[in-house]
């Protein structure tokens, strides 16, 4: 479900359309005042009444709506994937499998998650993002993030928590070689543009945006770890550790773990 996110939505449609087929994409516009996205007629684009409220209230309203839509779609599909427009669920290229092939090989009882990677920017080395080129060909680092280790894929009707971060009443499972790349804060210029977005500021997003921009600082100044030596133990820790306020969310003791994204991902998205 999107509002004022045409930049990310173009990449989202291109990626998931190639992976899943455009006829299997469902986009809900948060507000009937939103322009229709650039997409083929095969993509399902549904304008909806805007979900009002501050950040927390609107998030809860949107996820209730999307949980209901997912339950309807599961009458037709074996699996439903729920993501934000700036999130790409991708399989490690060394598997040699498409997203459909990979997910079809899993026994998904309720949900499955990809390990969350919050993609950043190395300021001074990496310039403004060019949307005509693959994102990961322009960005080399990301933070391993419990926030983006989301219960994105479901096999039966559930109630997602806000932002797809969990499924209520159920545990989570992080699949090996599956990653959720978050691109919402991977470009300093785009973050500054979001600060000028009247809708977001009126909804109380300013604190949220400032907090999330920390990933750029961490990728610029922090120690970069080797991906293949790090993601395995990070996945185990996230599966074992839980935040005290939510047993069915992953935990990482607030550790800041920055990894270099391998070259094999450069053309994935």
pLDDT digits (tens, 9 = 90+) for 139-186: 999 999 999 999 999 999 999 999 999 999 999 999 999 999 999 989
Residue 205: per-residue pLDDT: 53
Residue 213: per-residue pLDDT: 78
What's the mean pLDDT when you consider all of the chain?
93
Residue 188: per-residue pLDDT: 87
**Does some domain include residue 25?**
yes
Residue 235: per-residue pLDDT: 98
Note the residue count of the chain.
269
Tens digit of each residue's pLDDT, the chain (269 residues): 998 889 999 999 999 999 999 999 999 999 999 999 989 999 999 999 998 877 788 899 999 999 999 999 999 999 999 999 999 999 999 999 999 999 999 999 999 999 999 999 999 999 999 999 999 999 999 999 999 999 999 999 999 999 999 999 999 999 999 999 999 989 988 887 766 666 655 555 566 556 667 899 999 999 999 999 999 999 999 999 998 888 999 999 989 999 999 999 999 99
**Does some domain include residue 1?**
no
**Does some domain include residue 168?**
yes
pTM recorded for the entire structure: 0.93
Collapsed DSSP state (helix, strand, coil) of residue 160: strand
**Does some domain include residue 103?**
yes
Q: Which letter does DSSP use for residue 185 in this model?
A: T
**Does some domain include residue 139?**
yes
Q: Are 209 and 191 in contact (CB under 8 A)?
A: yes
Domain that holds residue 90: 6-265
Could you write out the three-class secondary structure of 136-149? HHCCCEEEECHHHC
Q: Are 257 and 143 in contact (CB under 8 A)?
A: yes
Question: What is the maximum alpha-carbon separation in the chain?
Answer: 50
Alpha helix ranges (H) inside the chain:
6-20, 55-73, 99-104, 188-195, 198-202, 206-212, 214-221, 227-240
* Residue 187, phi then psi, degrees to nearest 5: -150, 115
Residue 197: per-residue pLDDT: 63
* Total domains, the chain: 1
**Rounded to a whole number, what is the distance in angstroms from the first to the last CA of the chain?**
20
Residue 237 contacts by C-beta under 8 Å, 6 or more apart in sequence? 251, 252, 253
**Does some domain include residue 261?**
yes
């Amino acid at each position: 479900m999107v509002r004022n996110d045409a930049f990310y939505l173009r990449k989202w449609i291109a990626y998931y359309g190639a992976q899943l087929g455009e006829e299997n994409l469902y986009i809900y516009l948060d507000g009937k005042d939103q322009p229709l996205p650039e997409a083929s007629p095969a993509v399902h684009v549904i304008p909806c009444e805007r979900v009002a409220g501050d950040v927390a209230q609107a998030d809860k309203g949107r996820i209730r709506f999307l949980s209901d839509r997912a339950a309807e779609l599961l009458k037709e599909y074996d699996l439903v994937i729920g993501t934000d427009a700036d999130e790409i669920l991708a399989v490690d290229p060394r598997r040699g499998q498409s997203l459909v092939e990979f997910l079809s090989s899993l026994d998904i009882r309720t949900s499955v998650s990809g390990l969350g990677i919050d993609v950043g920017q190395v300021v001074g080395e990496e310039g403004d993002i060019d949307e005509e080129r693959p994102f990961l060909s322009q960005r080399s680092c990301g933070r391993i993030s419990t926030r983006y280790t989301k219960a994105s894929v479901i096999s039966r009707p559930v109630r997602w928590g806000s932002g797809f971060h969990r499924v209520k009443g159920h545990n989570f499972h992080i699949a090996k070689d599956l990653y959720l790349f978050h691109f919402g804060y991977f470009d300093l210029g785009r973050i500054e543009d979001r600060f000028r977005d009247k809708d977001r500021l009126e909804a109380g997003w300013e604190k949220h945006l400032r907090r999330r921009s920390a990933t750029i600082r961490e990728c610029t100044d922090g120690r970069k770890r080797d991906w293949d030596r790090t993601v395995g133990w990070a996945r185990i820790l996230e599966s074992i550790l839980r935040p005290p306020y939510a047993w069915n969310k992953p935990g990482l003791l607030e550790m800041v773990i920055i990894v270099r994204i391998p070259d094999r991902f450069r053309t994935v998205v």
